[in-house]
Chain A
């Protein structure tokens, strides 16, 4: 299925074809949910925003015109919903500023390392670091990174969704990647240093 097919599905749904909407929903539900979950870092809030986004898609079906990709249309709605959510609950934004250590601790509480094999424990730790690094990014950079990762939009389309130029979106993405790499490498380096320190006394 191509993006043009997404637009056609949306038009069919606007004409009353529920099957078309189910197909469209099944195609975008996972990526949109991941985008919202990583963006908000709050599953409940992600659920609310996910439902709100699809409700807006349903409500605006008669005004939809397939002038651009359906993904651009869908993620623009999601982006605006997230912005509105940030404005409505500014107090919750403080909660979003959790540190990487808190994020790791939270994940450690949910997944006891003693019950996991070593590989799975390592993966879990890596994932926790990734989430923590993602959470430490500024909203604009995280938004751009997640849009590129999850929606599959181009930089130009991301610029349209976020209301900036393509160069700005590209710059944000570059900063986001650099910060993520630094955040992911630091624990590994500290672990290596820790292992070397451990090996030295025994040597």
Chain B
């Protein structure tokens, strides 16, 4: 079927030189109906109208559902977090309230003044109790045992002890780091009372002013008498300074300054006693007058009367 005749016919057809088919094609003239033209034109016009109505910033198909899902998730997270914060706040406030109520309900035990928390910073407590805190074998030596009298001091002492233990056994640091930190925070919290507790703590500290000044006091020293409330108010609840250092019993210690005397009436009284013992009656009387002027409401029984000569 691929003879020369067919090839010639094909060449004529390809060269558009075949009049037969051309004539047939012209006779078989077919045109699309006008309705079809209108339909196609309407389709094209509608597509252009839709295109012009499309906004400039055209978001993807997934943008809307993703935005909705993200909004819902974020809203839920915020609501849940708010609820959790409220619960946490309530939980945190409950112990403080309980502590306050316990402090209010618990009667102040004047026989155990050493358990009250003085106004002493943790650093000061650490500094004062460092020699006794180290768990070394030498701690059993007849070294004077220093009292860690306040809760802050106890915590600070515990911290020092923990540090020493950790230094000896580093693995203990990893195991006990979290409780140690918690205890340290508790110690700081206990050593530095809140503003709400300042009045009660200060009153207690003033009542135990002697204890404050004797963070390095020897244990066998006699207990000071309890001061009255008015006396507590006059005594500033501050940590003892270097001037109010423990006084030696031999009386060879230097005389106290006026500020130290006013801060520590017991030390002042001891100084007066020492003056009397030394035979300086006039000076002792002068000091006694100054003492009564400074502490007019100090109980008379607490003030030693001069021996009758």
Contact = CB atoms under 8 A, between A and B. Distances in A.
Interface in A110-155: 123, 126-127, 130-131, 148-150, 155
Contacts of B143: none
B33 A47 contact: yes
A11 interface: no
- Interface of chain A: mostly helix, strand, loop or mixed: helix
B44 A18 contact: yes
A174 B24 contact: no
A130 B28 contact: yes
Contacts of A150: 25
A160 B65 CA distance: 42
A12 to B, nearest CB: 11
Contact of B24 (A21, A22, A127, A148): A127
B9 to A, nearest CB: 6
B47 to A, nearest CB: 5
B27 interface: yes
Interface residues of A, number: 38
B10 interface: yes
Interface stretch (A30-38, A68-76, A94-102): A30-38
Nearest to B39: A51
A18 to B, nearest CB: 5
Nearest to A175: B1
Interface in B189-233: none
Contacts of B45: 18
A149 B36 contact: no
Give chain B's interface residue range (CB within 8 Å of chain A). Answer: 20 to 34
B13 A177 contact: yes
Given A13-B44, A16-B51, A155-B14, A51 B6 contact: no
Contacts of A51: 36, 39-40, 43
B11 to A, nearest CB: 10
Nearest to B9: A177
A63 B297 CA distance: 102
Contact of B2 (A54, A174, A181): A174
Contacts of A148: 13-14
Given A37-B30, A181-B9, A58 B44 contact: yes
A47 B48 CA distance: 23
Nearest to B23: A126
B31 interface: yes
Given A126-B24, A173-B13, A25 B2 contact: no
Given A13-B44, A18-B44, A34-B28, 16 more contacts: A18-B45, A18-B48, A22-B44, A50-B36, A58-B47, A61-B47, A127-B27, A148-B13, A149-B25, A150-B25, A174-B7, A177-B13, A178-B1, A178-B6, A178-B9, A184-B20
6 contacts: A18-B44, A29-B31, A50-B32, A51-B40, A61-B47, A127-B24
Interface of B: 1-2, 6-7, 9-10, 13-14, 20-21, 24-25, 27-33, 36-37, 39-41, 43-45, 47-48, 51-52
